[in-house]
Chains A and B, each alone.
Chain A
Amino acid sequence: MIEKLNAIRRQAEKEMNKVASYGELNDLRVKYLGKKGELTAVLRGMGSLSPEERPQVGQAANQVRSDIEKILEVRGNELKEQQLQESLKKETIDITLPGQNIFIGRKHPITLVIDQIKEIFLGMGYTISEGPEIELDYYNFEALNIPPEHPARDMQDSFYISDEVLLRTHTSPVQVRTMEKTVPQVPVKIICPGKVYRRDDDATHSPMFHQVEGLVIDKGISMGDLKGTLLTFARQMFGEDRQIRLRPSYFPFTEPSAEVDISCMMCGGEGCRVCSHTGWLEILGSGMVHPRVLEMSGYNPEEVSGFAFGMGVERVALLKYGIDDMRLLFENDLRFLTQF
């Protein structure tokens, strides 16, 4: 009988290893271990055994049952894994088909540059000031030390609305308005971003463009502070290894005045096409606020001093993104705008 039991086990093992699916394996479970299964059938014959043989055979039968269950489990796991693998294979998709077109909006490159400039100066404790785009001659010129017939008015040929009113040619009038509001308090620490207008239209000039100007008025402000501020800005805006260079220049509302060059970020100062092989890019105008401007705004230049600077946003955008024609910025071709 024990022999028979062992034969069942061998037979079961053989058959179970042969089956290809979990279903067939279940059939074998019934066939061997079920109520009408072969093992049960053998055990039914136990009644004819002697009492001495019974425990031995019983033990052997249990051993066989547990062996078969173990085989079932191992084999079952094997088959389940096999089945899973097959179904995974069937579910395969073509991952090279395109994904859904998630459409992302874009900011205009000018806005991106202004945002970046704003962030840098906000971080340095500047407030953002704004003012009208259509300005009084007084704020645009006179209060900035540019009286009528001053040759500097030629530098900025203006669009006039009436004799007294014009489209602002720079954002400097915002500085004057802010000083008038703040006087006699100090410090004044502002940047003024915005649209400005000049009568120019070619590949490097647009009749409307954007400027960001900055102004600091406080006790004891020096040109060294201007230099430090602009160096900090240049490095945050154009990279940590930038250098700046100040050259004497002229603006009616600052004295001393300086053009500010930054070392070319394309060639690192070696000289390339972008910087006309000079290693420097002219990016800002700046200077110490002219005492006459302070006086007109109500400050005493003996008590406070200040610096001002201004830059053309388009110029920065052109350099930053390698754009070669200013007109692209306002044409609004989507093939252009969706690149930023």
Chain B
Amino acid sequence: MKVAYQWLKQYIDSGLSPAELASKLTMVGLAVEHVEFLEKGIKNVVVGQIKEITRHPQADKLVICQVDMGEKTVQIVTGATNVREGHKVPVALVGAKLPGGVKMKAAKLRGIESYGMLCSGEELGIDETYVSEESRGGIMILHPDVPVGKDAVEVLGLDDAVLEFELTPNRSDCLSVINVAREVSAVSGKEITLPKIEFKETEENINDIASVEVKDEELCNRYVARVVKGVKLGPSPEWMQHFLRSAGIRPINNVVDISNYVMLEMGQPLHTFDYNRLVGHKIIVRRAYEEEKMFTLDGQERIFGSDTLLICDGEKPVAVAGVMGGLDTEVTEKTENILIEAARFHPVSIRRTSRMLGLRSESSLRFEKGLDVSNVKNACDRAAQLMAEFCGGQVVNGVIDTFDQDIELLKVPLRIARINQILGTSLTREEVTSFMERLHFSFEIMGEEMIVTIPPYRQDITREVDLIEEVARLNGYDQIPVTLPFGPTTEGRKTRLQEFADNVKNFFVGVGLVEVITYSFINRKDLDKIILAEDCPLRKTVKVKNPLSDEQGIMRTTLAPGLLATAALNTSRRKTDLAIFECGRIFMPGSEKLPEETEVLGALVSGSLNRGWNWQAQTLDFYFLKGVLAALFDRLEIKDWRLKAEKLPPFLHPGRAGSIHVNNCLVGYIGEIHPRVQDNYDLEEKTCIMQIDLAPLADASPNVVRYIPFGKFPSVQRDMALLVPESLAAEEVSAMIRAKGGEILTGVSLFDVYKGAQVPEGYKSLAYSLSFQAVDRTLTDEEVTRVFDQTKSELFAKFGVELR
């Protein structure tokens, strides 16, 4: 909502400058986003009247104008094509100053002397978008009543300032300049003067020449009509055009301008019909029939359903209620008689219709917010008054009004003690009543309570707390004291899972992974990219009904697409050494209304780390990621975990991946991605990913860590090199060693895996280092050798392992 400062000044002289006013209104909740000062340094541009236009002897595209400036007539050459003899226009005479400090000088144009310039809107700093049709692209044609010699800055309002409000949804009452003026009155304490609505009426009575029938009172609870006869279309006064331009509305003609002006002034949208073209001079308000059609003002044929409210004449629809008029009954230059409509339509109905038709206008915006029903007739009268004044019209006697109820104003109790309790202030009753007075809210005092009568334009106030807010904002939020809640001390706490998730994140950062955050929604096509089978459970997704694009069409069921897309993006930017992780939720449709949300942790690695001038690169491969996983479990004190080459998601390499089991429960997967997935994402390096559910991990991780004493007696190391079939899993060998080693075997570590020279085809060599230690004695050599040898022979018996 944009309002010219001078417009407000018509109702209230606040004594505040535009900037002061903006800041005061902002601090009471009417946020002024921006104050635009129209003053652009224009000097000595005055109104002139073109007396004579003659052709330029040397140039087809130029004409010579003799312009009456009041005291003298000057000759000006112009290239504009929209000027006619008799037009009044802004003239910059020699010596005048234009925006940007341009100074007018006398000039010779193709041999003819020119002593000034006829100005276009643009040259005066007026946005061409808001210039009337006849002046657009040419000289600014002024209203014929403007006196010659008058300063054009004053005529066009170019010394004004425009306040641009960003209104909160509850303050749609301020989509009316008068209601903004009421706020100005509340902040400044100055009185407001409302326009007097008075006009003469003709002998003829409206009920004899027009009728209104509302067939759906739910969708239209008030319809007011007046008829104005004998209007002459022409430009509206310059001040009105300026106010409209300031509000971002282009002046059209006096009738249209008046209906827009009254809408802005009073917040009540109006519609004007060409009375003569209303068949039967009838207005019928009804819902559309299914598939009913009509041509709207913009020349388009529209089709409606029964949700749409139509304004019809005796035979056909003539307007889409509150949204747009019809072509047939539009006011044109030939129009003589006008029927003014002021109505209150149901906000939801208008909202639906305007959305359906994709038409949102200043009118529909106001209807959608819900109008003040008491204001409807006033607005209709105001428009009639202005049409009589500025269109030469005669207002037909009487008004048609379908609303005959008494409007009962809401009364809301207000307790001083309650105000102070909620705000923490210590306001007195006198202070509170003064705020009510400034708001023009009447009240009665009943003991400890005030009973406040809410004016009909403040529909946002329905209960005590709304009045408390009024008090708070007028008193100033800066007057609220700074205190802290008192009462029993509370303990700040994270839940166990939050604590756990934070620890896990810290762990990943500690081992060198970088955290990423990817969107929770993914593209359905991502599921193809990670080669999920048609019946894969990960394809059962939660779908977004109205995504911004297909890229964000479904909720992720795995972190893999996000991590892989991150890898792809960084690869495309020449960064292929990656170690990243993400902690977030995945979503599965469930049996309840809400989907199942699972907090998971994912990681992705590729390339290598730590390549340097005197040390080896650390390859970020499967075993690196498994190392991270093992370290995580170690950190979490989770002992019982293992990988199984089963239940693998399809996007993993079937021979280089495992599902992760903790306490025999499946909690996630880890592995190199399938070469086809690698291709689909254009990844240059082999890439490994993992994903683990957080909750079961938190459950498996003991709350309390207990110290286990380590042995005081010396330990003995023995190494063992084994030749085993290549297909034998190393874990089976180490499990056997552990089983046979018994109590005194305290550690088994694999320190070498070797294939190649000296190892027969189909075999691999595994080298283990075994530690033996007893808690209660120093082990003898014989004892260790016995266990060691037994282990070796058992390995031989079980797996055919050969010793090297």
- Give the distance in Å from the alpha carbon of A276 to the alpha carbon of B483 in the complex: 30
Contact of A155 among B169, B466, B511, B555 (CB under 8 A): B169
Q: 1/0 per residue B579-603: CB within 8 Å of A?
A: 1110011010000011101000000
**Complex contact B492–A121 (CB within 8 A):** yes
Instruction: Give the residue name and chain of the A residue nearest to B170 (CB).
Output: A250
Nearest-neighbour CB distance to chain A for B53, whole angstroms, equals: 49
- With A106-B514, A208-B519 already in contact, the answer to whether A101 and B490 are too (CB < 8 A) is no
User: Which 8 pairs between the two chains have the least Cβ-Cβ distance?
Assistant: A224-B424, A248-B29, A222-B424, A250-B168, A122-B492, A105-B509, A256-B469, A125-B490
Nearest-neighbour CB distance to chain B for A176, whole angstroms, equals: 14
Asked whether any CB of chain B lies closer than 8 Å to the CB of A29, the reply is: no
- Give the distance in Å from the alpha carbon of A243 to the alpha carbon of B154 in the complex: 43
Q: 1/0 per residue B593-626: CB within 8 Å of A?
A: 1110100000000000111111100000000000
Chain A interface residue count, CB cutoff 8 Å, equals 85
**Complex contact B512–A105 (CB within 8 A):** yes
- Give the distance in Å from the alpha carbon of A160 to the alpha carbon of B593 in the complex: 13
Q: 1/0 per residue A34-74: CB within 8 Å of B?
A: 00000000000000000000000000000000000000000
Asked whether any CB of chain A lies closer than 8 Å to the CB of B423, the reply is: yes
Nearest-neighbour CB distance to chain A for B780, whole angstroms, equals: 43
- Give the distance in Å from the alpha carbon of A108 to the alpha carbon of B582 in the complex: 9
**Complex contact A149–B521 (CB within 8 A):** no
Instruction: Give the residue name and chain of the B residue nearest to A120 (CB).
Output: B492
Among listed B298-306, B312-320, B471-479, B738-746, interface-contacting one: B471-479
**Complex contact B492–A126 (CB within 8 A):** yes
**Complex contact A225–B424 (CB within 8 A):** yes
- Give the distance in Å from the alpha carbon of A256 to the alpha carbon of B471 in the complex: 10
Across the interface, which residues of A come within 8 angstroms of B466, CB to CB?
Answer: 255
Among listed B54-62, B66-74, B542-550, interface-contacting one: B542-550
Instruction: Give the residue name and chain of the B residue nearest to A200 (CB).
Output: B548
- Give the distance in Å from the alpha carbon of A225 to the alpha carbon of B425 in the complex: 11
**Complex contact A333–B569 (CB within 8 A):** yes
- With A247-B477, A250-B169 already in contact, the answer to whether A227 and B482 are too (CB < 8 A) is yes
Asked whether any CB of chain B lies closer than 8 Å to the CB of A152, the reply is: yes
- With A110-B517, A225-B484, A229-B485 already in contact, the answer to whether A128 and B498 are too (CB < 8 A) is yes
**Complex contact B543–A161 (CB within 8 A):** yes
**Complex contact B515–A101 (CB within 8 A):** no
Residues of B within 8 A of A (CB): 26-29, 31, 168-172, 347-348, 351, 368-369, 421-425, 463, 465-466, 468-469, 472-473, 477-478, 480-485, 487-495, 498, 502, 505, 508-521, 542-548, 552, 555, 566, 569-570, 573, 575, 578-581, 584-585, 587, 593-595, 597, 609-615
**Complex contact B570–A106 (CB within 8 A):** no
Across the interface, which residues of A come within 8 angstroms of B27, CB to CB?
Answer: 247-248
Nearest-neighbour CB distance to chain B for A92, whole angstroms, equals: 16
- Give the distance in Å from the alpha carbon of A108 to the alpha carbon of B566 in the complex: 14
- With A227-B480, A247-B477, A331-B569 already in contact, the answer to whether A103 and B494 are too (CB < 8 A) is no
**Complex contact B505–A216 (CB within 8 A):** no
**Complex contact A97–B613 (CB within 8 A):** yes
**Complex contact B514–A161 (CB within 8 A):** no
**Complex contact A231–B595 (CB within 8 A):** no
Nearest-neighbour CB distance to chain B for A143, whole angstroms, equals: 15
- Give the distance in Å from the alpha carbon of A99 to the alpha carbon of B558 in the complex: 39
Asked whether any CB of chain B lies closer than 8 Å to the CB of A290, the reply is: yes
Across the interface, which residues of B come within 8 angstroms of A218, CB to CB?
Answer: 485, 487
- Give the distance in Å from the alpha carbon of A144 to the alpha carbon of B37 in the complex: 40
Asked whether any CB of chain B lies closer than 8 Å to the CB of A127, the reply is: yes
Asked whether any CB of chain B lies closer than 8 Å to the CB of A332, the reply is: yes
Nearest-neighbour CB distance to chain A for B522, whole angstroms, equals: 11
Instruction: Give the residue name and chain of the A residue nearest to B575 (CB).
Output: A334
Across the interface, which residues of B come within 8 angstroms of A220, CB to CB?
Answer: 421, 487
**Complex contact B422–A134 (CB within 8 A):** no
Contact of B472 among A121, A223, A338 (CB under 8 A): A223
Instruction: Give the residue name and chain of the B residue nearest to A301 (CB).
Output: B465
- Give the distance in Å from the alpha carbon of A167 to the alpha carbon of B556 in the complex: 13
- Give the distance in Å from the alpha carbon of A1 to the alpha carbon of B169 in the complex: 122
Nearest-neighbour CB distance to chain A for B126, whole angstroms, equals: 26
**Complex contact B516–A337 (CB within 8 A):** yes
Asked whether any CB of chain B lies closer than 8 Å to the CB of A207, the reply is: yes
Contact of B542 among A127, A161, A164, A224 (CB under 8 A): A161
**Complex contact B482–A224 (CB within 8 A):** yes
Q: 1/0 per residue A316-340: CB within 8 Å of B?
A: 0000000000000111111101100
Instruction: Give the residue name and chain of the B residue nearest to A127 (CB).
Output: B493
**Complex contact B498–A130 (CB within 8 A):** yes
**Complex contact A222–B542 (CB within 8 A):** no
**Complex contact B490–A104 (CB within 8 A):** no
Across the interface, which residues of A come within 8 angstroms of B485, CB to CB?
Answer: 187, 189, 216, 218, 221, 225, 228-229
**Complex contact B518–A332 (CB within 8 A):** yes
Contact of A224 among B423, B465, B509 (CB under 8 A): B423
Asked whether any CB of chain B lies closer than 8 Å to the CB of A266, the reply is: no
Across the interface, which residues of B come within 8 angstroms of A110, CB to CB?
Answer: 517
Across the interface, which residues of B come within 8 angstroms of A189, CB to CB?
Answer: 485, 490
- With A105-B510, A125-B491 already in contact, the answer to whether A291 and B555 are too (CB < 8 A) is no
- With A164-B593, A249-B168 already in contact, the answer to whether A227 and B465 are too (CB < 8 A) is no
Instruction: Give the residue name and chain of the A residue nearest to B493 (CB).
Output: A127
Asked whether any CB of chain B lies closer than 8 Å to the CB of A100, the reply is: yes
Nearest-neighbour CB distance to chain A for B516, whole angstroms, equals: 4
Instruction: Give the residue name and chain of the A residue nearest to B498 (CB).
Output: A128
Asked whether any CB of chain B lies closer than 8 Å to the CB of A262, the reply is: no
Residue in A160, A208, A332 whose Cβ sees the most chain B Cβ within 10 Å: A332
- Give the distance in Å from the alpha carbon of A149 to the alpha carbon of B547 in the complex: 21
Residue in B463, B512, B544, B569 whose Cβ sees the most chain A Cβ within 10 Å: B544
- Give the distance in Å from the alpha carbon of A235 to the alpha carbon of B489 in the complex: 21
Contact of B484 among A135, A152, A229 (CB under 8 A): A229
Q: What are 19 A-B residue pairs whose CB atoms fall within 8 Å in the complex?
A: A97-B614, A98-B612, A101-B610, A103-B610, A115-B502, A124-B492, A128-B495, A161-B595, A189-B490, A208-B521, A227-B424, A247-B26, A250-B169, A255-B465, A255-B469, A256-B473, A333-B569, A335-B573, A337-B515
Asked whether any CB of chain B lies closer than 8 Å to the CB of A242, the reply is: no
Contact of A165 among B421, B493, B519, B593 (CB under 8 A): B593
Instruction: Give the residue name and chain of the A residue nearest to B463 (CB).
Output: A291
Across the interface, which residues of A come within 8 angstroms of B520, CB to CB?
Answer: 133, 167, 195, 197, 208
- With A125-B489, A249-B168, A258-B477 already in contact, the answer to whether A134 and B517 are too (CB < 8 A) is no
Instruction: Give the residue name and chain of the A residue nearest to B546 (CB).
Output: A160
Nearest-neighbour CB distance to chain A for B290, whole angstroms, equals: 23
Across the interface, which residues of A come within 8 angstroms of B514, CB to CB?
Answer: 105-106, 334, 337-338
Instruction: Give the residue name and chain of the A residue nearest to B26 (CB).
Output: A247
- Give the distance in Å from the alpha carbon of A133 to the alpha carbon of B465 in the complex: 31
- Give the distance in Å from the alpha carbon of A39 to the alpha carbon of B786 in the complex: 66
Contact of B545 among A98, A136, A162, A221 (CB under 8 A): A162
Across the interface, which residues of B come within 8 angstroms of A130, CB to CB?
Answer: 495, 498
- Give the distance in Å from the alpha carbon of A335 to the alpha carbon of B483 in the complex: 44
**Complex contact B516–A154 (CB within 8 A):** no
Asked whether any CB of chain B lies closer than 8 Å to the CB of A132, the reply is: yes
- Give the distance in Å from the alpha carbon of A335 to the alpha carbon of B422 in the complex: 49
Nearest-neighbour CB distance to chain A for B503, whole angstroms, equals: 12
Asked whether any CB of chain B lies closer than 8 Å to the CB of A111, the reply is: yes
- Give the distance in Å from the alpha carbon of A101 to the alpha carbon of B518 in the complex: 28
Instruction: Give the residue name and chain of the B residue nearest to A258 (CB).
Output: B477
Instruction: Give the residue name and chain of the B residue nearest to A338 (CB).
Output: B514
- Give the distance in Å from the alpha carbon of A329 to the alpha carbon of B29 in the complex: 32
**Complex contact B472–A329 (CB within 8 A):** no
Q: Which chain A residues in 173-222 approach chain B with CB under 8 Å?
A: 187, 189, 195, 197, 199, 201, 207-208, 216, 218-222
Contact of A122 among B493, B581, B585 (CB under 8 A): B493
Asked whether any CB of chain B lies closer than 8 Å to the CB of A232, the reply is: yes
**Complex contact A105–B489 (CB within 8 A):** no
**Complex contact A107–B515 (CB within 8 A):** yes
Residue in B469, B512, B611 whose Cβ sees the most chain A Cβ within 10 Å: B469
Across the interface, which residues of A come within 8 angstroms of B513, CB to CB?
Answer: 105
Across the interface, which residues of A come within 8 angstroms of B518, CB to CB?
Answer: 330, 332
- With A105-B512, A110-B517, A248-B29 already in contact, the answer to whether A161 and B423 are too (CB < 8 A) is no
